[in-house]
């Protein structure tokens, strides 16, 4: 009976904590607005699955490189394809690939960090050596090297970006685990004979979840830039797929006469990455105000 009461109180307190976090996040006007801007972009990309003003792959050289007009709201590209339609379809690659890779990177990296920090010893040494090697490569260089080796394509991009992002998560999570692993409540759980996995999930994971969420928001912004940079260099999704970065890459030759071909995709990339970064700032203040110095934007 008493146990139930305690459990009920705990769940009430958790609910209250969540509401407070949401209130703090909402009070940050820039972060709150960014959330809506991001949702608008995601809506536009989702609509792209069902409807686009024109077929994004249909080329017609007779209407090539037209500036924005009522007929083509964002103009046409070097092959006469409608830029708005291409941006709507391209978003699923740029945002989708970043999203999947960062989620993968965060799961792999955080798991390694949890295991490394909690068990210590030889496992820790091995994991830290692997992370050292990954961090010995500048992130962009690592991603480029992986793309060269794996060849262009969506799957390669996902592998390349998740490998480039996981080490930071491992370092971050391991650091937090080392801080809490000697706390009394962990020792108590050990004395009660709880299994290691129970302790990790019940007592350690709740401590690391906030920094992971905040870091993920920053990394989503970063990986949008990374994915589009690879696309720009011609190492990402091969044409004619309208990935945002590769749209800039193929349009840059016409910068002198038709700057709109590179301006609009760049604007979309910037607004998306900016939204993720500002949401990240808001989440940091709401979830983990202590870590202002600790977590970094890229």
Report the residue number, 194 or 252, with the smaller CB distance to another protein.
Answer: 252
Residue 136 near another protein by CB under 8 A: yes
**8 Å CB contact between 47 and 26:** no
Q: Which is nearer to another protein, 114 or 262 (CB)?
A: 262
Q: Which of 53, 67, 138, 289 binds another protein (CB under 8 A)?
A: 138
At which residue do the structure tokens 């592998």 appear? 159
150 binds another protein (CB under 8 A): yes
Angle at 26 between CA 20 and CA 30, to 5 degrees: 145
Q: For the CB of residue 41, give the shortest distance to another protein in the complex, in Å.
A: 13
HSE (side-chain half, CA atoms, 13 Å) at 218: 17
Q: Is 14 in the site for another protein (CB under 8 A)?
A: no
Q: How many residues form the binding site for another protein (CB under 8 A)?
A: 47
Hey, what are 142's tokens? 């690592």
Closer residue to another protein, CB minimum distance, 106 or 277: 277
Q: Does 35 bind another protein (CB under 8 A)?
A: no
Please name which of 10, 25, 5, 2 lies closest in space to residue 206, comparing C-alpha atoms: 10
Residue 234 in the binding site for another protein (CB under 8 A): yes
271 sits in the region (left: phi over 0; alpha: psi -120 to 50; else beta) called alpha
Q: How far is the CB of 169 from another protein (least distance, A)?
A: 16
| CA separation for the pair 248, 264 (Å, rounded) | 9
Q: How many residues does the chain have?
A: 298
CB of 129 to another protein, least distance (A): 6
* Residue in the structure block whose two tokens are 């038709």: 258
Residue pair 212/220 in contact (Cβ under 8 Å)? The answer is: no
Candidate residues 158, 229, 237, 279; the one interacting with another protein per rule CB under 8 A: 229
For another protein, the closer CB: 159 or 286: 159
Is residue 217 a contact residue for another protein (CB under 8 A)?
no
Among 11, 19, 55, 149, binds another protein (CB under 8 A): 149
Phi, psi at 76, each rounded to 5°? -120, 160
Using CB under 8 A as the binding rule, whether residue 123 contacts another protein is answered as no
Answer for which of 144, 157, 177, 181 binds another protein (CB under 8 A) is 144
Candidates 176-184, 186-194, 205-213, 252-260: pick the segment binding another protein (CB under 8 A): 252-260
**Which of residues 64, 123, 145, 209 is near another protein by CB under 8 A?**
145
**DSSP string across 200-251:** IIIIIHHHHHHHHHHHHHHHHHHHHHHHHHHHHTT-SSPTTS--HHHHHHHH
Q: Are 87 and 266 a contacting pair, CB within 8 Å?
A: no
Instruction: Enumerate binding residues for another protein (CB under 8 A).
Output: 129-130, 132-133, 136-141, 144-146, 148-151, 221-222, 225, 228-229, 232-235, 245, 248-249, 252, 255-256, 259, 262-263, 266, 269-270, 273-274, 277-278, 292-293, 296-298
């Amino acid at each position: 009976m008493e146990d139930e009461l305690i459990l009920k109180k705990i769940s009430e307190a958790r609910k209250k904590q969540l509401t407070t976090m949401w209130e703090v996040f909402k009070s940050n006007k820039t972060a709150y607005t960014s959330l809506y801007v991001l949702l608008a972009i995601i809506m536009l990309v989702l609509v792209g699955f069902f409807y686009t003003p024109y077929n994004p792959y249909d080329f017609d050289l007779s209407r090539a490189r037209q500036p924005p007009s009522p007929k083509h709201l964002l103009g046409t590209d070097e092959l006469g394809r409608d830029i708005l339609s291409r941006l709507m379809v391209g978003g699923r690659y740029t945002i989708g690939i970043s999203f999947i890779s960062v989620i993968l990177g965060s799961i792999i990296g955080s798991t390694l960090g949890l295991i490394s920090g909690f068990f210590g010893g030889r496992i820790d040494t091995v994991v830290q050596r692997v992370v050292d090697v990954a961090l010995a490569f500048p992130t962009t260089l690592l991603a480029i090297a992986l793309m060269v080796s794996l060849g262009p394509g969506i799957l390669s991009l996902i592998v390349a970006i998740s490998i480039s992002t996981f080490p930071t998560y491992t370092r971050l999570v391991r650091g937090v685990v080392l801080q809490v692993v000697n706390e009394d409540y962990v020792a108590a759980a050990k004395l009660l004979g709880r299994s290691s996995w129970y302790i990790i999930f019940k007592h350690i994971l709740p401590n690391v979840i906030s920094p992971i969420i905040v870091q993920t928001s920053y990394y989503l912004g970063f990986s949008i830039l990374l994915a589009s940079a690879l696309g720009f260099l011609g190492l990402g999704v091969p044409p004619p797929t309208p990935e945002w970065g590769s749209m800039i890459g193929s349009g840059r030759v016409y910068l002198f006469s038709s700057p709109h071909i590179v301006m609009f995709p760049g604007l979309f990339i910037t607004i998306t990455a900016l939204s993720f970064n500002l949401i990240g700032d808001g989440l940091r203040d709401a979830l983990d105000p202590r870590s202002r110095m600790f977590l970094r934007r890229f």
